[in-house]
Amino acid sequence: MSIRVAIIEDDTSYRRSLEQLFSMSTGFSLAGSFASAPAALMQAERAGGSQAPVPWDLVVTDIEMPAMSGIEATRRLKAAHPGLKVVVLTVFEQPETILEAICAGADGYLLKKSRARELLDGLRGVAEGGAPLTPNVARSVLDLMRSLRPAARPLPRGEVSPSRLDLTEREQQVLRALVEGQSYKQAADLLGISLGTVRTHIVSIYRKLQVHSVAEAISRALRDRIV
């Protein structure tokens, strides 16, 4: 089954190149293409108005666009359709912008300078439950979060350190792999465990962190210094 992709991109030339890429690549199909975020949101609302799911599996959106930014579009799409995957594809590499996109619910953050194969691999990773961030992007975000952390303080008696939250050592390893942008399969290969075992750990991580998506887990991990 192919991944149905919708594009939100105001640059006509780049949008057409993405349309061609998804139309011609095995495992993908072009399900929608929009020059603005409001147009995409309107179509999503129309398609899902009767509580039917939107006809897309994944949305690829730029950030800086007229009328509405891709980050705001991400926030609205994820709020209305939590199961829909949204990946930011942009030229911006600033860690503050990346973090804002992740906190808005983005399931991945990829750069336009990525090669076609890297882009397609990243999107496949999202479909498999990963959260692709290039190593440099992941490191920039981690460095930013560390710089913003308040100084350590003694914990009141009975308070649990946010770095623990009852996660096992293996669960912390899986969570760290997600923060670094690994897909479920890549995490399994890295840790020498099966894909099914990774999925079991993810379910437990979600329960313990009280989150419902990879993006929320990454945001919580960074904010609460879990990794």
Residues with Cβ < 8 Å from 120, sequence gap 6 or more? 21, 25, 27, 28
CA dist 57 and 71 (Å) reads 18
CA dist 112 and 60 (Å) reads 11
**Structure tokens, 164:** 């623990």
pLDDT at 76: 93
Bridge partners of 32? 6
CA dist 216 and 154 (Å) reads 27
User: Domain locations in the chain?
Assistant: 3-140, 155-223
Q: Is the pLDDT of residue 53 over 90?
A: no
pLDDT at 61: 97
- Indicate the SS3 state at residue 8: strand
Q: Which CATH architecture has domain 155-223?
A: Orthogonal Bundle (1.10)
**pLDDT tier for residue 148 given thresholds of 50, 70 and 90:** low
Percentage of the chain surpassing pLDDT 90?
A: 39
Tens-place pLDDT, residues 89-134: 989 878 778 878 887 888 888 889 888 998 998 898 888 777 666 6
CATH superfamily label, 3-140: Response regulator (3.40.50.2300)
pLDDT at 199: 86
| Residue 109, phi then psi, degrees to nearest 5 | -140, 110
Tens-place pLDDT, residues 149-178: 544 444 444 444 445 568 999 999 998 888
